[in-house]
Structure 1
Amino acid sequence: MPITERDTLIADAVADLTTRPDDADLLDLLHDLTAYVVALVGVRASGITVLDQIGGVEYLTASDEEFRQLEEEQIEFDEGPCVDGTRGGAPLGPVALDRAGAAMHWWPHFTPRALDAGITSVAAVPLRGFGDTIGALNLMTAGTPLLTPLDLRFTQALANAATSAVQHQRVLRDKDEVITQLQHALNSRVVIEQAKGMLSAMHGISLDEAFTRLRHSARHRRTKLSVLASAVTQGRLPDELAVQ
């Protein structure tokens, strides 16, 4: 069987997710996971929610700004597929969204908001560390057929590749240490969101574009995204971020 372009993209994605240096930025790694899922599975958007140190569900990252808002609203109302997927520890869905269907009964706040944003179905697969659930990789589709069992198996494989890299590259010993690393990522996300907002207002660009510029600058300078974001919030912008 000939190798296709998609086969090559999958191989590149797995290699990228599993060969980061030991001090790689965890938030950057997991954001790349959401981008690969969008590109390779064909969903409208993807995001990650995780368990914090006291067992609460927290938003960590998403493939785009609109999905970030949908994820954060689920945390606020304590309902939705991202919340259920994170707490349940098992694949969820796919679930078709309908104002008169089961989803409206399960998620009365989330469902109409998602439908208004053009989302027609949702699904989630667990993120696991040392066999225990540490979060969920959440998927939303728009106007496309429901994801198939093979789609979810493929998505789970990508998620497993990323979490395996986190465990082994950081020489973590148990689930608690993985959650501690995720807590650090949650803390850094707050600073990154502030930096995105500053760049967006300064240059009149979208938050998605501001985040892209932040990531490019961090990689160019070989520094952690959180470190660069902290510098930006303190007014210390590198040249490439200071100009339009």
Structure 2
Amino acid sequence: MSTPPSSTQRESRLLEAFVQMADTLVDDYDIAEMLHQLAQYCVRLLNAAAAGLLLSDQRGGLQVMASSSEQTRLLELFQIQANEGPCLDCVRTGEPVHVPDLTEMTGRWPSFAPEALHEGFAAVYAIPLRLRQDTIGALNLFNTGPGPLPAADVEVARALADTATIGILQERAIRRGEVLTEQLQTALNNRIAIEQAKGVLAYAANLDMDRAFQALRSYSRNHNIRLTEIAHRLVTGTLTPADIVATGGPA
């Protein structure tokens, strides 16, 4: 376990940590790097020997996203493979899991507890990454000696986890928004192509716009080709108006 920082050092490092985490809310950032920094801050600022972080992959599974050491990463992977442990319980319930003495948890976690003890850890604390009812992961803090995590450290860990959660959810929302925007733009582009195709067909075949549209739809259904694809072909010249209006014309 690292030497605890002095009060002045702790205050300075806390300020640095929260400034860094807050930057994720207003600037472009790398989630993996941000979560790695979160794990490092937990070791530097709290009474913890190691830290690890599991994040939901939005398909119901959990992935190890960050750890303060390779040993911790492997232990977190072991949790997932064994399907038991404090982090998994934390994510499932959305509540913190505090275990001051892992020797008392072999019944609850028959695989994880012995493995953690074998790796030299005696206590573990899991804190949910949660925004209201949405739990997206958990932060694990490990200690090499038994005993409770000081209340002040618990509060700092929760604040760091909450800040990280907001940043992660914001990034996901932005990504979803970009996907929706892209889908909307595609739909608009397709609609423009259909309108252009209607105009081409109406002019070439001397049809009104409604009849031109019906002809496009009929050709689409008869040839089992999407309407937007028919429109694009007609607009780009790979399909002619005569093809559309001719019975049994080529696709």
Asked if these proteins are the same fold (TM beyond 0.5), I'd say yes
Higher relative contact order (CA 8 A, sep 6+): 1
CA distance in 2, matches of 1:167, 1:22: 14
CA distance in 2, matches of 1:28, 1:91: 24
Per the alignment, residue 198 of structure 2 pairs with none
Per the alignment, residue 17 of structure 1 pairs with 21
Can you give the 5+ residue segments of structure 1 that lack an aligned partner in the other structure?
Answer: 181-244
Quick check: 1:120–1:143 contact (8 Å CA) kept in 2? yes
RMSD: 2.4
1:77 aligns with 2:85: no
Aligned with 1:161 (options 160, 163, 167): 163
1:144 Cα deviation (Å)? Answer: 5.5
CA distance in 1, matches of 2:176, 2:133: 13
Deviations 1:183-216 (A, max 9, x none): xxxxxxxxxxxxxxxxxxxxxxxxxxxxxxxxxx
Which protein has the larger Cα radius of gyration, Structure 1 or Structure 2? 2
Matches within 5 A, 1:130-145: 131-143=133-145, 145=147
Per the alignment, residue 117 of structure 2 pairs with 115
Per the alignment, residue 69 of structure 2 pairs with 64
1:92 aligns with 2:93: no
Quick check: 1:62–1:68 contact (8 Å CA) kept in 2? yes
| Greater CA drift, 39-48 or 15-24 | 15-24
CA distance in 1, matches of 2:22, 2:41: 13
The AA in structure 2 aligned to 1:90 is: E
Moved over 6 A (4+): none
Quick check: 1:80–1:107 contact (8 Å CA) kept in 2? yes
Quick check: 1:45–1:139 contact (8 Å CA) kept in 2? yes
Identity %: 36
Can you give the 5+ residue segments of structure 2 that lack an aligned partner in the other structure?
Answer: 1-6, 180-251
Quick check: 1:94–1:147 contact (8 Å CA) kept in 2? no
CA distance in 2, matches of 1:110, 1:165: 30
CA distance in 2, matches of 1:50, 1:19: 20
CA distance in 2, matches of 1:76, 1:93: 21
CA distance in 2, matches of 1:142, 1:71: 16
1:172 Cα deviation (Å)? Answer: 2.1
